[in-house]
Structure 1
Amino acid sequence: MPATTSVTLNTGAIMPTVGLGTWKSAPGEVEHAVEFALKNGYTHIDTAAAYQNEPEVGQGLKASGVPRESVFLTTKLNNPDQRHVPQALEASLSKLGTPYIDLWLMHWPAPMTKDGKADKAYDWLDTWKSMEDVYLAHPEKVKAIGVSNFSVEFLERLLKVAKVVPAVNQIELHPSCPQDDVVEYCQKKGIILTAYSPLGSDNSPLLKNPVVNKIADKYSVPPANILISLHANKPGHTVLPKSVTNARILNNAKIVDLTEEDIAELHKINETHHFRACHPAWTGWGGLGFPDCK
């Protein structure tokens, strides 16, 4: 089947398949990247309170001249704000300069104090309950809620008590970190997967991988396009390539229709080379462990 240009959330909302990621984008570059992307066909922007770039994202959105209703905007609740969900929402809305967020994610199932230490006296399930309350009480401010960096273990715990099933689980996904168990679980529950770090990382070895390059040569595109297109060719997936360079922003949006054989070859990469690009030291907190990407 051909690659998708959008997916439908469990709320009925339409989410564009390819979005501009802003994690690790340097200060002073994000506003231009967002403005340029929106002026050149992107309709999906992803940020987070933890990235400390929501004001720049908002400025780029405004400078683009693209109507707010034409943009799907995602941001995330920061770990130290998990005890203060309503206030955190208002802070993000203010910084972004927008009356609403299309998708608001719990960034990690890991409450923290303001000094970055684990808040072991607080349960992240209470954070989700607060997000549900805000979402149900103020649909004009939050169109959908979801999670990020959730393994199957945490999803199962969440769904035992959730009134609202997460619309999205945003996780690291690429051929060397396929997280097949999470993908399968989310697909069964109707939760959309959003892939961050789809290239693996900056200067990722995947860009030099012979399988990726063989398929890229087949379609006469750079290797990055194959790694991004992999997700657009999977039902229920969206993907967030990140760049602040005009040429790469344009190129990243060019999706290739891959064959089943192409996808199978890309999946085999993990059999010999797997790694995770995002592994904060604190993810060992309270049993919060993330397995290898096999």
Structure 2
Amino acid sequence: MRQPSLASLALFLFLLLHVVPEEVSGQFWAREGAKEKGDHEEVVHGGDDENSQKIHLPVVKLSNDNTIPLVGLGVGNLQHYVVPLMVAGAIQDDKRTRLIDTSHISDNEHLVAEGIQEGMERVLGGNDRIVTIHVVTKVWYTYLGYERTKLSIRESFQALKSAMDHPRVDLKVHILLHWPRCYDNISWMSCQEDEARTPHHIKAAGPPPHQDKDAWKGSWKALEEAYLGDEFPIRSIGVANFHLKDMEELEELAQVQPHILQLNVWSLLYDSQLIDYCYKHGIHVQVYSILNGIVTEPQKAPNAFHHLQKVASELTDDKQPHSQQEQEEDEVSPAQVVLAWLVQHGVSIVPRTSRLSRLKENSAVALASVPDLSVEQVETVAHSVEAFLSEDDLEKDIHVKITFHATTKDTFLYWNTHDGGEIKVAFIPKGESFNEMTYPNHSFRLYDARNKDHFIEYKVDAKFGSHEHVHAEL
């Protein structure tokens, strides 16, 4: 285990000093803090008329003055039958996740369009309003090169056509280069074999890109022409998984500078030079693979996970729900803590899920309702995320300290497991006490040592860092 490293602290300071957004009516805005007027400022009313609450959904203004939502849904490589269901669910008014991230290689752009059509039937419900939906798709590395990229763009728009033709959908398409090149040293890439498997009509469009490490430069020219031309209504163009050297080369040759750079969350944390480059050049950073291996696998860094739980508990308290039902629905999860940490600092997110419950938890509406993280909480999350990514847990854990007092009788203390079992913790003689370090929501059972039919249940509802006393009067 280790103390928080300079990497996480550097990210924390970068976010704090460079991209802390100005809050305007509960809205989080990136960098310049400018509030965008128009269709992209969506307002959700929660509760009844008396207790209604305005929630401004987070968007960011790109360098071309167009906007894009900060909260999206990734559907790349999901099983095909799941894609329409997830997309249709995401765009509903109770979630309003109206940014869908996919790629041409996923072969599901047509399913994204299908999901938009299906979802719109429920969204509209007889209403004739126009709904703006954004789709980010990407040009795969087998399509690199000027002519091949033109083909990829055309195929993507053909796949999305049914959604674009929907009379009540204003579809905004953003196109990125997925990779600058194929890398044989990446385990799942196989450059020569991938080219061999490429369909003939793609091969006929241009030379094999794996034989030219700079084939992406022709691709960028094709993207620029499509963006500036009239044939394809492209909202913005950008790149994904580019290194700093590639970005600097792109800057030198580009007629249109990239509006978006999409990265793995690892790069956000560890490649501070690249992130600083994006900030200085007005390139918006979008992050994928945010939750994979973090909150989904708490055993990798249990101490860090407990710190995220603590922040989640604090933010839940800050939400001040109006009713018990709202309190249960509005509980902030560790996953939402990580996502809100990024969104509140102008970094857009496209977490992937195939579960409807996660769809709501990760939604634009849910994340817009998470209170502002404090400076201390931002630092805690940065350290915790780095602990998960490095698989090197934080040195310091946090607990709830419970002192159990055997007030009237000799007492056995058991911990209740999630599957209904029991684990013996201690025997506490009458008049003595026992200290146990535990966590919120754990439950215990205290038995009369001479009669196990007599017992009391205790569930930990204290906060992290607190100390409570339990007097067992059996």
For the superposition of Structure 1 and Structure 2, which TM-score range results when normalised by the shorter chain? Answer: 0.7 to 0.9
Shift in Å, 1:127: 1.3
- Identify the residue that residue 119 of structure 1 maps to in structure 2: 210
Task: Say which of 111, 115, 124 aligns to 1:56.
Answer: 111
1:115 maps to amino acid = R
Structure 1 residues not aligned, in runs of 5+: 277-294
Tell me, in whole angstroms, the C-alpha distance in 2 between the residues paired with 1:70 and 1:271: 35
Shift in Å, 1:219: 1.8
The question of 1:10 aligning with 2:101 is answered no
Q: 1:174 to 1:271 in 2, by over 3 A?
A: closer
Tell me, in whole angstroms, the C-alpha distance in 1 between the residues paired with 2:263 and 2:211: 23
Question: Are the equivalent residues in 2 in contact too, given 1:101–1:142 (CA < 8 A)?
Answer: yes
Query: What's the Cα RMSD here?
Result: 2.7
TM-score, normalised relative to structure 1: 0.84
- Identify the residue that residue 261 of structure 1 maps to in structure 2: 376
Per-residue deviation, residues 194-246 of structure 1 (Å, max 9, x unmatched): 111111348344785222222112223111101111111113x2111222222
Question: Are the equivalent residues in 1 in contact too, given 2:226–2:232 (CA < 8 A)?
Answer: no
- Identify the residue that residue 292 of structure 1 maps to in structure 2: none
Task: Say which of 293, 307, 319 aligns to 1:211.
Answer: 307
- Identify the residue that residue 238 of structure 1 maps to in structure 2: 348
Tell me, in whole angstroms, the C-alpha distance in 2 between the residues paired with 1:54 and 1:274: 30
Q: 1:207 to 1:176 in 2, by over 3 A?
A: farther
- Identify the residue that residue 109 of structure 1 maps to in structure 2: 180
2:197 maps to amino acid = D
Q: How does 1:187-206 map to 2 (within 5 A)?
A: 187-201=279-293, 203-205=296-298
| Number of aligned residue pairs | 275
Question: Are the equivalent residues in 2 in contact too, given 1:196–1:241 (CA < 8 A)?
Answer: yes
The question of 1:250 aligning with 2:365 is answered no
Structure 2 residues not aligned, in runs of 5+: 1-21, 30-57, 124-128, 165-170, 183-190, 199-207, 317-331, 392-474
2:136 maps to amino acid = T
Tell me, in whole angstroms, the C-alpha distance in 1 between the residues paired with 2:267 and 2:381: 6
- Identify the residue that residue 73 of structure 2 maps to in structure 1: 20
Question: Are the equivalent residues in 2 in contact too, given 1:174–1:199 (CA < 8 A)?
Answer: no
Question: Are the equivalent residues in 1 in contact too, given 2:133–2:172 (CA < 8 A)?
Answer: no
The question of 1:70 aligning with 2:158 is answered no
Per-residue deviation, residues 103-147 of structure 1 (Å, max 9, x unmatched): 100001015635379612352112111211221223742121101
Q: Which has the larger radius of gyration?
A: 2
SS in structure 2 of the partner of residue 70 of structure 1: strand
Q: 1:178 to 1:21 in 2, by over 3 A?
A: farther
TM-score, normalised relative to structure 2: 0.53
SS in structure 1 of the partner of residue 258 of structure 2: coil
**Range that drifts further, 205-214 or 133-142:** 205-214
Tell me, in whole angstroms, the C-alpha distance in 2 between the residues paired with 1:106 and 1:234: 25
Per-residue deviation, residues 31-82 of structure 1 (Å, max 9, x unmatched): 0000011123222111111222112111001111267761111111111111
Q: Larger % of strand: which? A: 2
The question of 1:47 aligning with 2:109 is answered no
- Identify the residue that residue 153 of structure 2 maps to in structure 1: 89
SS in structure 1 of the partner of residue 115 of structure 2: helix
1:262 maps to amino acid = Q
SS in structure 1 of the partner of residue 234 of structure 2: coil
Question: Are the equivalent residues in 2 in contact too, given 1:175–1:266 (CA < 8 A)?
Answer: no
Question: Are the equivalent residues in 1 in contact too, given 2:266–2:389 (CA < 8 A)?
Answer: no
Tell me, in whole angstroms, the C-alpha distance in 1 between the residues paired with 2:220 and 2:341: 31
Q: 1:239 to 1:80 in 2, by over 3 A?
A: same
Per-residue deviation, residues 146-194 of structure 1 (Å, max 9, x unmatched): 0111121211111111111101001012699453222211011000001
Tell me, in whole angstroms, the C-alpha distance in 2 between the residues paired with 1:151 and 1:210: 33
Tell me, in whole angstroms, the C-alpha distance in 2 between the residues paired with 1:141 and 1:127: 18
Q: 1:228 to 1:13 in 2, by over 3 A?
A: same
- Identify the residue that residue 142 of structure 2 maps to in structure 1: 80
**Range that drifts further, 98-107 or 245-254:** 98-107
1:161 maps to amino acid = L
- Identify the residue that residue 339 of structure 2 maps to in structure 1: 228
- Identify the residue that residue 165 of structure 1 maps to in structure 2: 257
Q: 1:271 to 1:78 in 2, by over 3 A?
A: closer
Shift in Å, 1:101: 5.0
Question: Are the equivalent residues in 1 in contact too, given 2:175–2:234 (CA < 8 A)?
Answer: yes
Q: Percent identity?
A: 24
